[in-house]
Amino acid sequence: MIVRPQFDPFPYLISGSVLAFYQALVAGRPLGHAATAAQSADAKFDLTSALQTLLKHNAISEVRE
């Protein structure tokens, strides 16, 4: 994943399950569905860690109901 804090590109290595989670979110899937997709990719998927990474790198642009 490449994040751009203050427009400076920064590569960040993520696992396949985290990729599945992020792709589901980008596709507009609800959080629960995205977490299920990630757990299907890897039963050890850590939702808390995946969300912390998004928050840490300011990678969330909006929250929808």
pLDDT per residue as tens digits for the range 10-22: 898 899 999 999 9
Q: What is the pLDDT of residues 22-38, one digit of tens each?
A: 999 999 999 999 999 99
Say yes or no to pLDDT of 63 above 90. Answer: no
Cross-strand partners of 2: 11
Domain boundaries, the chain: 2-56
Say yes or no to pLDDT of 51 above 80. Answer: yes
Q: pLDDT-derived band of residue 7, with 50, 70 and 90 as boundaries?
A: confident
CA distances from 47 to 5, 8, 56 (A): 22, 26, 14
Residues whose CB is less than 8 angstroms from the CB of residue 6 and which lie 6 or more positions away in sequence, other chains included = none
Residue 61's pLDDT is what? 80
Helix, strand, coil abundance in the chain, percent, nearest 5? 55, 5, 40
pTM of the predicted model, to two decimals? 0.83
Q: Are 55 and 31 in contact (CB under 8 A)?
A: no
